[in-house]
Amino acid sequence: MAKKRKKRSEKGVLQLLRFRTTILILLILVLGFGAVSVRLCYLQLVNGPYLQEKAVEQQLVDTTVNSKRGTIYDAKGKILAQSASVWKVVLAPAYLEKDEQRKYVAKNLSKILDLSYDDVYAKTKKKTYYVVIKRKIESDEREQILKFVDKLTDKYAKMSNVITLFDDYRRYYPYEDLASSVIGFTGSDDQGLEGIEFQYDKYLTGTPGRVITARNANQTDMPFEYEQNVEAKDGNSITLTIDETIQSIAEKYMKKGLVDNAVVKRGVCIIMDVNTGGILAMVTADGYDLNNPYDLSQADLDAIKALPEKQRAQAESNALSAMWRNKAIADTYYPGSVFKMCTASMALNEGKVNDNSSFYCGGSVTIYDHTIHCHYTGGHGSQNFFQAIANSCNPAFIQIGNLVGAEKFKKYYQAFGFSEPTGIDLPGESDDLFFANNRMSETDLAISSFGQGFSITPIQMLTACASIANGGKVVQPYIVQTITDVDGNVIKNTETTYKRQVISKETAEKMCGYLERNTTQGGRNNGYVAGYRVGGKTGTSEKIGNSRPGFKDYIASFCGFAPADDARVACLVFFDTPTGASYYGSQVSAPVFVDIMSEVLPYLEIQAEYSESEKKYVDTVAGSYVGLSVKKAQAAAKSDGFTTTVKGEGSKVISQIPSAASKIPTGGNVVLYTDKESKKNKVTVPNFVGYSVSTVNSLASDYGLNVSFTGVTSSANSVSTSQSIAEGSEVKPGTVVSVKFGGGTVVHD
Amino acid sequence: MAPFVEVMHKADVNKLYDEKLNRKRDSSRRRPERKRRQPEQPEQPAPKARKRRRVKARLFERGMGLDLPFLLLVLVLLVIGMIMMFSASYPTAYYSSRINDSYYYIRRQAIYAAIGVAAMLGISFFNYNKLHKLAPIMLAVSYIALVAVLLVPSKIHRWFEIGPINIQASEITKFAIILFFAHWGSLYYDKMQSAKYSVLPGILIFGSTAALLLLEPHYSGIVIIAILTVVMLYISGMRTFYLAVGGILLVFAVLGAWATGLLTYAMTRMDGWGQALIYTTDEMWQTTWQTRNSLYAIGSGGLFGLGLGQSRQKYLYLPEPQNDFVFAVVCEELGFVGALIILLIFALLVWRGITLSLRSKDRFGKLLGIGLSSQIGIQVVLNILVITDWLPNTGISLPFFSFGGSSLIMLLAQMGLILSISRTANIEKQ
């Protein structure tokens, strides 16, 4: 029984084993291997592209190759902004295995790059392959780093990849603060942050290149051949309409103006080609050093230091944005009396006034409840149209404005281009601020007629002035003339855009005449530039609010153009809050305008035409008389229009003062030396300041000196204001002393 | 499943062989025939009627009783495995500042393989029935190894070093489990229906082993031990009912864990299992680095692969590509097609191993052969499930491919056992 069961069970067990083995094979080979195959199929075929992309993403290192930023040139091809090669120091600290190596690297790097040892040492402890130690190092530092790398590889094994230098570029501004508010600067990633650098960033930047290489997980080599290079395309270059010479002249005198008039909130000067709209100079004085745009002036720093701790950061950022601000386009102000040239143009163009129109000024006008005073409180009495302009008489202009009427006023306001930004290619241009809902009450019209009550930008005012100067055409001001690519192909060239004819050519010509007479009559304080026909208008406008308790803040401005009969350039000079002896446009801005224009106009090769009385004060170039016999020299000097004084007993001229090619007034005295002894004679320079032209002339001849006259010499009441060589200096006889004259009628508008 | 056509061939071959052998034996009786010991199967009646003669083959007499297809499959896999292991390992070996020698791994693996093949061929002459005695001792050694490995000061207690080679404790355990249950199953084949002889030893041995593996921790080791235990008990004749109960309990446990969110937690704890591509934290990103890069490698292979030696992921992205993750590099270099071909060879090997074992003349041989063969299949499946992020990333090597002296030698020794079994399987009844 037992045997039988056993036998059966054994047979059953064997069958069971076979059956179960079949199941087992099915499970392992069909289910198990099947599942594995399905899983692999999914991963390799379905999900493959995604996983491969992820894998490639980590295997390929995409290095950006910086492109060289384009150069910014002035109109004459001088370089205003340029990028130069610098290097970025990158450390791969994961290769440093011993603390001794880390300390060695940290010690040397911190020494070469002038960094804190602790900071560098902390970086060497990281377990990565890319730590930026310092950006933008110069070539001398690079040399030292390369030397150090040599030393390091000699000293320890496997150090060749520890320090890498990557090419980079740094922006240089050779003229430092010249046209700083226009050019702007770039940030640490070479991106334009202000001015042209910002506005034309996409042109200047270029296209960064890429190097895509396969790297192993340690970021070192991999035999897998994959390298793809996309060449960096350097940025385009920009040529501005700004002329470095004109810009420098303007900046020089603007800086002086700031100091002379104790100007608190900077000043603006814009010089524009009236026919094209090209900006020849745009100054926000003082500028800042574009190479160090985050360095505040000492005065600002002191002011910030005085503040409580909490406010400092805010104050610093405010001071920086004020420093970077391009006031010429970003600030709005009441144009004041300068605007009278527009009001007058409107009335003239509408035929509401003519030369004989008469206006009366009793010193003040009352419109409803408002009493508006003329700056000349005594009243100008009865004036014709030109006199109203020349006197800058507010009551007269209220009457002129009334003749135009609010609707026409608004129409011309728009037509002159005040109601919209000029569209100049610079960032941050402000809009005007006109009366609410574009509605003008009678009072509004009254104050508007002399430029109060609405705010415009300096560039808008200058554009309007240019339209008067160029025969009534409103042009769009621009600052970038051409954009050229790396190969010199012109990508973009700015053409003049005429927006509209705002006043007729006749009106414009007439206005030019009035404005020219205005300057001629007013002298230096009305913008008269000796030898040139200049038209212009002064302005003093009140500011809303005040910076100093007890004082009103003003903006002193002057806007003019030259030559008046065939205008080439218009210039606006604007000082925000002068706190010196005077705040009037005539005393603060007009002299600066004159100084600038008297250098800019000759530079532009505009022929000077001197009046008879001026001619004798015009400088002539002295010839060379050295080596000639005394007689011949005297004759030559005489034919050049000079008188001569012979010193010494020799027969030949061995030297002369003034020297050859120097400028002396016609009729000046040339001292001819015939021996060395006589050359030792010295003359003491007297005081030339405070005299009339004729007095200065006779003083000079008494002392045996030459005087070069600058400034306004034609006006009867011209008074000398400064001299180039200080009183009491010992000079040789015949030396040229430059004496500047000012004076003329002072209009306190 | 009955062995089919091949058996006939084999039978013919063996008949010829037997005749040849008899002739030899007649002509020169240099070696006295060793008396074959009966397997320790007291229940089995002394099989007088079916007396078997074990073929005495010489080493260089190829095919003499030894299953040639199986041997060839083993050698083919070994060669492919070594080539691929070399391809996967040389960048790691080259870039390692410690090793700095591209041939470091392959040189050692070649030595291990040589030793292993020698061991395999040697063991193929060994009478596996002698292992009956060894089974309980082996189990004891396994426990000692599992405890000993916990005493090695390390974060993960999986290996211990004896001389120049690392031994993974679970390698011993796997063999011990198969051996023990083959021994047990052949001893109590008619009592396996009762829970006392099947479920109880199963739970006791698996439970205690699993507890020790949990301490290492070695989750995939637990999985493989569990599967091996179940496989061995199943083919030994355990009632399917117990298996079904166990299966249902497991399903409920997993569902319960999943419902309570415990599963996700456990998956996160288990080295970010299943989350290689959806890492959320830096820590997870670090933890799942190896698995993620394995997936990248597998995915990069596509249908035909990047070509032999062309893997990119092995350039330090995939850490230790010579070990458990060698198949990821295989997939990347040879593609889906190459991977399938290798899987096919593995499948053939498992098939051949199981079917030849079935023809063994004794139960111990059957069970041991099937156990050892299926272990390879199971390990291949589990290894690929690990590298494809379906199982936690914990040390299941790929047979014949992964670098490792102890495991390769042990594997080839086990193949030698199967070959030894094949010799008896190929003996015809006389």
Query: What pLDDT digit, counting tens, does each position of B237-254 carry?
Result: 888 888 888 889 888 888
Please state the length of chain A.
Answer: 749
CA torsion A637-A640-A643-A649 (nearest 10°) is -10
Per-residue confidence (pLDDT) for residue B311, from 0 to 100: 86
Determine whether the interchain pair B43/A218 forms a contact, defined as Cβ–Cβ distance below 8 Å: no
Q: Among A490-499, A570-579, A588-597, A722-731, whose mean pLDDT is lowest?
A: A722-731
Highest-scoring range by mean pLDDT, A47-56, A159-168, A378-387, A399-408: A399-408
Domain chopping of chain B, boundaries: 61-425
Give which of A556, A503, A563 is closest to A536, Cα–Cα: A563
Determine whether the interchain pair A44/B303 forms a contact, defined as Cβ–Cβ distance below 8 Å: yes
Mean pLDDT of B299-322: 88
Quickly count: other Cβ atoms within 10 Å of residue A218's Cβ: 16
Higher model confidence: residue A75 or residue B315?
Answer: A75
Determine whether the interchain pair B299/A50 forms a contact, defined as Cβ–Cβ distance below 8 Å: yes
Provide, as residue numbers in chain B, all residues whose Cβ is less than 8 Å from the Cβ of A33.
343, 346-347, 377, 380-381
Q: Among A349-363, A443-457, B87-101, whose mean pLDDT is lowest?
A: B87-101
CB proximity A59 to B under 8 Å: yes
Mean pLDDT of B171-175: 90
* Cβ pair A514, A534 in contact under 8 A: no
Strands A358-361 and A381-384: antiparallel
Band (B38; pLDDT cuts 50, 70, 90): very low
Instruction: For A35, name the nearest residue in chain B, comparing CA atoms only.
Output: B381
Contacts with B, A 4-23, CB within 8 Å: 6, 9-10, 13, 16-18, 20-23
Give me the residues paired with residue A79 across strands. A73
Residue A383 Cα distances to A142, A371, A457, A525, B221, angstroms: 74, 20, 31, 21, 112
B183-230 pLDDT per residue, tens: 998 888 778 778 888 888 888 999 999 888 888 777 778 888 999 999
Determine whether the interchain pair A13/B299 forms a contact, defined as Cβ–Cβ distance below 8 Å: no
Size of interface A-B (CB pairs under 8 A): 149
Mean pLDDT of A707-735: 74
Provide, as residue numbers in chain B, all residues whose Cβ is less than 8 Å from the Cβ of A39.
384-385, 388, 390
Its sign, for the CA torsion A303, A306, A312, A314, is negative
A109-158 pLDDT per residue, tens: 999 989 899 999 998 888 777 888 888 888 888 999 999 988 888 888 77
Instruction: For A226, name the nearest residue in chain B, comparing CA atoms only.
Output: B312
Strands A490-493 and A480-484: antiparallel
Per-residue confidence (pLDDT) for residue B13, from 0 to 100: 43
Asked if the model's pLDDT at residue A493 lies above 70, the reply is yes
Smallest Cα distance from A26 to chain B, Å: 10
Residue B117 Cα distances to B62, B111, B127, B375, angstroms: 14, 10, 17, 19
**Average pLDDT of chain A, as a whole number:** 86
Asked if the model's pLDDT at residue B34 lies above 70, the reply is no
The residue of B96, B235, B337 whose CB has the most chain A CBs within 10 angstroms, and thus the best one to mutate to test that interface, is B235
**Average pLDDT of chain B, as a whole number:** 80
Contacts 24+ apart (CB under 8 A), A112-121: A112/A141, A112/A144, A112/A145, A112/A148, A113/A89, A113/A137, A113/A141, A113/A145
A184-241 pLDDT per residue, tens: 999 888 889 999 999 999 999 888 888 777 777 776 666 666 667 788 888 999 999 9
Q: Among A449-463, A676-690, B46-60, B326-340, whose mean pLDDT is lowest?
A: B46-60
* Cβ pair A475, A423 in contact under 8 A: no
Provide, as residue numbers in chain B, all residues whose Cβ is less than 8 Å from the Cβ of A217.
315-317
Band (A723; pLDDT cuts 50, 70, 90): confident
Band (A472; pLDDT cuts 50, 70, 90): very high
Residue A272 Cα distances to A258, A466, A476, B88, B314, angstroms: 21, 8, 11, 73, 67
Determine whether the interchain pair B315/A10 forms a contact, defined as Cβ–Cβ distance below 8 Å: no
Per-residue confidence (pLDDT) for residue A422, from 0 to 100: 92
Per-residue confidence (pLDDT) for residue B398, from 0 to 100: 93
Smallest Cα distance from A208 to chain B, Å: 28
Share of chain A above pLDDT 70, in %: 93
Highest-scoring range by mean pLDDT, A289-298, B51-60, B386-395: A289-298
Provide the token pair at A150.
Answer: 């040599």
Contacts with B, A 224-253, CB within 8 Å: 224
Determine whether the interchain pair A43/B231 forms a contact, defined as Cβ–Cβ distance below 8 Å: no
A499: helix, strand or coil? strand
A657-693 pLDDT per residue, tens: 877 777 777 777 788 888 777 677 788 888 888 777 7
- For residue A428, is it left (φ>0), alpha (ψ between -120 and 50) or beta? left
Determine whether the interchain pair A24/B234 forms a contact, defined as Cβ–Cβ distance below 8 Å: yes
Determine whether the interchain pair A17/B237 forms a contact, defined as Cβ–Cβ distance below 8 Å: yes
Band (A1; pLDDT cuts 50, 70, 90): very low
Determine whether the interchain pair B354/A55 forms a contact, defined as Cβ–Cβ distance below 8 Å: no
Give which of A342, A337, A589 is closest to A467, Cα–Cα: A342
A533-559 pLDDT per residue, tens: 899 999 988 887 766 777 788 899 999
What CA–CA distance (Å, rounded) separates B284 from B19?
67
Determine whether the interchain pair A24/B370 forms a contact, defined as Cβ–Cβ distance below 8 Å: yes
- Facing B295 at nearest CB: one of A36, A51, A214: A51
What CA–CA distance (Å, rounded) separates A619 from A666?
6
Per-residue confidence (pLDDT) for residue A744, from 0 to 100: 55
Claim: this prediction has a pTM higher than 0.80: no
Asked if the model's pLDDT at residue A309 lies above 50, the reply is yes
Smallest Cα distance from B318 to chain A, Å: 9
**What one-letter code names the amino acid at A497?**
T
Mean pLDDT of A291-316: 88
Q: Which residues neighbour B37 within 8 Å (Cβ) at sequence distance 6 or greater?
A: B127, B129, B130
Provide, as residue numbers in chain B, all residues whose Cβ is less than 8 Å from the Cβ of A13.
189-190, 237, 363
- Facing B315 at nearest CB: one of A32, A54, A222: A222
Per-residue DSSP letter, A351:
T
Contacts with B, A 138-167, CB within 8 Å: 158
Asked if the model's pLDDT at residue B97 lies above 80, the reply is no
Residue B130 Cα distances to B39, B417, B429, angstroms: 8, 11, 21
